[in-house]
A and B are shown apart, each in its own frame.
Chain A
């Protein structure tokens, strides 16, 4: 029973990862996170009706509910996993070193490839795309209502956890 369960879980996560990889390869400009959410929800019925294939017999209604929720939870794990290569500054630094000759870089070479200018420029552009702020031609930044709500939430959260310095 345990082996069958583990195989079912691995099959479901592999199916979702393969679908996300395929869609991302075809549709390169979209958000991978939106793709993951769509894939998880759209393929949940497939998972539920694959009960005979996964477990060798049709599941009772409670089992089908658990299977659907398990499938969605696995989509959630894929979502979290994706934030690592997609967002992590630390992992990007490791990749820059991997791609460098002799796997070594001076600090100035590293910052020339992936430095504060690039990072902040890109994050500001993403915050602008997300309608959190506007960037004027002269570089002035103005928070929009969504950005102010975000700022308020981060400020409250940091106060709640007594975080005094970050990043």
Chain B
């Protein structure tokens, strides 16, 4: 495929890349920055994409690897960043009760609360419709790991949504 056509495809894919990036960064400005950097990296390495394989999965992989690189670097620099930005996730002690305004807001909160490794696989399979195999390749883990993370994520989601709103907390376990 010519570079021009791939460019078109990647531009068409931007809404999906943004929503995946947002699920990783949870900040819009950072998500857009990540998407842009991932696209640039992709165009720079376009020869390594194998025609006939899924371009979207390849892009998700580049984007995620880039995020991990940045995230690691940032964590080395400042360890308090996450808490200060209000980005604490499941497993920590602080239990802030959130007023859940609607069912979909409740779903978003529950997704946001998932550990990152579960949230990303949920995004790839349930939102982006990647097969377990494609998701495994994006994440560089065995299919079994994809399945266990994904089933845990969905059970946690179902449990969170079954609970009364007063029990829906950010940072606590259902």
| Mutual binders A and B | no
